[in-house]
A and B are shown apart, each in its own frame.
Chain A
Amino acid sequence: MPQKQFREVIRDAIQEEMDRDETVFVMGEEVAEYNGAYKATQGLLDRFGEKRVIDTPISELGFAGLGVGAAMNGLRPIVEFMTFNFALVGVDQIINNAAKIRYMSGGQIKIPIVFRGPNGSAGQLGATHSVSFESMYAHFPGLIVIHPSEPYDAKGLLKSAIRNDNPVIFLESEQMYGMKQEVPEEEYLLPIGEAEIKRKGNDVTVVADGKMYHVARTAADQLAKEGVEVELIDPRTIKPFDMKTVIESVKKTNRCVVVDESHPFGGVAAEVGFQIQRDAFDYLDAPVQRVTIPDVPAPFSRPLFDAWLPNPSQVIDAVNTVTYRK
């Protein structure tokens, strides 16, 4: 199998779906002539032309809403945000229009749109450019939220997202675009809403999504050397969240740590923790712990930034807490 970068599989998924379905088109800032701010749409303009690969002005509210209107009227837009931080000026279009119009119309309208782009921090970019939005979007009924951590998952899930008839938030990462993984040449799709156990273990369950999966993976490798076998679950989809896989794992390991790039209040980790205490209370040998970014905006200064972003040693500390190793 060929090794493919994250950005390449994003492009491949879009290209395959555009080949397959004339109603799919992509628009966003710099997606066409510039070939994508992060090259996730490289070559698409040459292949499909300007009718279907469309550069937008810096006008997130305008083009997000235009995409929703086009989806209501039968097209399948893929809207790229240069980063999801910029989507905030157009978020009314996502939360009030994309997510609610089907409901308010009593089911008359479907809105098959994918909003995609990088999410979360990407180094020292300061507070406005470093937010991870999976928890925020997952808060709102009507949206599907996908937060893959690896190229293989990203490709199969993006193709499913484009074919899905609901609005989908598809969260990527600037820092993962260069990440490589073996990806099959032949076409495949992955089901939305299914977690994957990416490392088997009996001692502790660690749930980690997106970029945090890799932080947790590093921690798990280190812990293995110390004789602690982590069962590492990548939820891949945040909404709907595959709690079944998590609960089954916790019933086996009796301990759980959730790692997520959201702020703590009402975040993914908070929700997963709640579900575990409700549905696996009697199986727990320790309170569920979480590792998230703290309840503060992203700082610029390097030492502060490093203290802000979750790292493997925090995950190890949390595992040590739930296993009473320290």
Chain B
Amino acid sequence: MTKRKKEPINSRTASIIRATDLPAATKKNHKQLGISDDDLGVLYRSMYLQRRFEERAMQMYQKGKFGGFLHLYIGQEAVSTGTAYALQEEDDFITAYRDHGLGLVKGITANESMAELFGKEGGCSRGKGGSMHYFKTEKHFWGGHAIVGAHLPLAAGLAFANKYRGEDRIAICFFGDGAIDQGALNESFNLAQLWKLPVIYVVENNGYSMGTAVQRHSAGRLMDRAKAYGMKHDEVNGMDLFSVIDKFSKVAKDVRKTGEPWFLEVITYRYRGHSMSDPGNYRTKEELAEYKRIDPIERLKIYVLENGHLTEKELDAINEEVEKEVLESIDFAENSPFPPEEQLYEDVYVEKDFPFLR
């Protein structure tokens, strides 16, 4: 297990982890992690795309382009990018409602993402899911789930099916620290460990269950939930891309080899509110600023610049390309039609002619 420099946590009580007290970052460089020079640019682009996409999505929301909820992932991009990089493309990903980042890294295009926010037919869920319910199963992205903790047993089921068929695929399930307190977590952990299901459970501990700080909603350390089930577990510095890649590569390899589940607590931070209506009165500006100082995108940027892998000019070119992609996604979403009214009754049942009560 990773040693902390300072122990900020009472052994029996969870608490917000300060940016200065995160689990130590990996000391390995990109080569030691098996990341090619070219992939450094790909990884940077992936994180930056999520960030710009959501910043623009926020603008569109504020302009009234679409309704509903909008939960932003900004600050947590190293988790999505790092895990998708560490795992195989055909591994099965499932997450909670803060799903834009993982959706984008798993192969939902910016166009499909933005159109879904707009409720348009060109969206990844044909406009029927919205921000909280992104899906793209051909890319093994199983959603976008908005009842806290309710998708944890689904992940066990995805893993169960993979194991049943003797496939090498593993499942990975993300959720926020709020889900820790749900019974669904405990039932899922028990089944996953009891039946040795190839699944990685990942709590993205960003410190807050909506506006309730972790020490006010959860007894004990989050990671320790695994102990009761004898489940392998560890913590990860979620603000550092290389640390995420390092840990998840090892864990994925172990799950594939042993077929046994893991629970990882990723310490991360969301810069924005829980949703768009959240002024964030429950936390200090200083706390937020501390985290922004260790921003995962900036961190990678400094790494590639200092080590001479990419130049400012090359990074600017990536940024421009991303900006273009995001702006195009807005055009795409604007121009995509709304689903026609007859689609109201489609996709409820498999049959096209299901006799609905009218």
Residues of A within 8 A of B (CB): 25, 51, 56-57, 59, 61-75, 92-93, 96-97, 101-110, 141-142, 144, 164-166, 193, 240-241, 271, 275
| Cβ contacts under 8 Å, B12 to chain A | none
Nearest residue (CB) in B for A92 is B150
Cβ A65 vs Cβ B125 within 8 A: no
CA distance A108 to B144 in the complex (A): 13
Give per-residue flags for B119-163: 1 if the beta carbon is below 8 A from chain A beta carbons, else 0: 000011111110001011110001111010011111111111110
CA distance A294 to B19 in the complex (A): 60
Contact of B154 among A25, A97, A271 (CB under 8 A): A97
Smallest distance from the beta carbon of B145 to chain A beta carbons, Å? 8
Cβ A70 vs Cβ B161 within 8 A: yes
| Cβ contacts under 8 Å, B125 to chain A | 104-106, 108
Known contacts being A65-B157, A107-B346, A110-B350, is A72 close to B142, with CB within 8 Å?
A: yes
| Cβ contacts under 8 Å, B157 to chain A | 65-73
**Which of B147, B151, B157, B187: most chain A Cβ within 10 A?**
B157
B183 interface hit (Cβ, 8 Å):
yes
Chain B 179-205 residues near chain A, CB threshold 8 A: 183-184, 187-188, 190-191, 194
B228 interface hit (Cβ, 8 Å):
no
| Cβ contacts under 8 Å, A51 to chain B | 164
- Extra pairs beyond A102-B348, A240-B357 (11, CB < 8 Å): A61-B184, A63-B187, A64-B153, A68-B154, A69-B158, A69-B160, A70-B161, A104-B133, A105-B137, A107-B347, A240-B355
Cβ B191 vs Cβ A57 within 8 A: yes
CA distance A25 to B157 in the complex (A): 13
Smallest distance from the beta carbon of B235 to chain A beta carbons, Å? 25
| Cβ contacts under 8 Å, A109 to chain B | 135, 137, 142
| Cβ contacts under 8 Å, A166 to chain B | 349-351
Cβ B135 vs Cβ A65 within 8 A: no
Known contacts being A92-B147, A141-B348, is A62 close to B165, with CB within 8 Å?
A: no
CA distance A92 to B150 in the complex (A): 7
Cβ A108 vs Cβ B137 within 8 A: yes
Some 7 contacts from A to B, beta carbons below 8 A apart, are A61-B153, A62-B156, A62-B187, A66-B156, A70-B158, A75-B165, A104-B129
Smallest distance from the beta carbon of B103 to chain A beta carbons, Å? 12
Contact of B126 among A25, A62, A67, A106 (CB under 8 A): A106
Residues of B within 8 A of A (CB): 92, 123-129, 133, 135-138, 142-145, 147, 150-162, 164-165, 183-184, 187-188, 190-191, 194, 346-351, 354-357
Cβ A61 vs Cβ B187 within 8 A: yes
**Which of B150, B160, B355: most chain A Cβ within 10 A?**
B160
| Cβ contacts under 8 Å, A110 to chain B | 350
Smallest distance from the beta carbon of B188 to chain A beta carbons, Å? 6
Smallest distance from the beta carbon of B133 to chain A beta carbons, Å? 4
Known contacts being A96-B150, A106-B126, A106-B128, is A59 close to B156, with CB within 8 Å?
A: no
Nearest residue (CB) in B for A241 is B357
CA distance A51 to B183 in the complex (A): 26
CA distance A75 to B162 in the complex (A): 9
Cβ A69 vs Cβ B156 within 8 A: yes
| Cβ contacts under 8 Å, B153 to chain A | 61-66, 68-69, 93
CA distance A75 to B346 in the complex (A): 23
CA distance A64 to B150 in the complex (A): 11
Known contacts being A63-B191, A105-B125, is A70 close to B184, with CB within 8 Å?
A: no
| Cβ contacts under 8 Å, A66 to chain B | 153-154, 156-157, 160, 188, 191
Smallest distance from the beta carbon of A239 to chain B beta carbons, Å? 8
| Cβ contacts under 8 Å, B143 to chain A | 101, 104-105
Smallest distance from the beta carbon of A140 to chain B beta carbons, Å? 10
Cβ B187 vs Cβ A59 within 8 A: yes
Cβ B187 vs Cβ A75 within 8 A: no
CA distance A67 to B153 in the complex (A): 8
Cβ A70 vs Cβ B350 within 8 A: no
CA distance A64 to B160 in the complex (A): 13
CA distance A71 to B137 in the complex (A): 13
Cβ B191 vs Cβ A97 within 8 A: no
Smallest distance from the beta carbon of A157 to chain B beta carbons, Å? 16
Cβ A69 vs Cβ B128 within 8 A: no
| Cβ contacts under 8 Å, A92 to chain B | 147, 150
CA distance A285 to B106 in the complex (A): 62
Which 7 pairs across A and B sit closest by C-beta, in order of nearness?
A69-B157, A65-B153, A62-B187, A106-B126, A107-B347, A73-B161, A69-B154
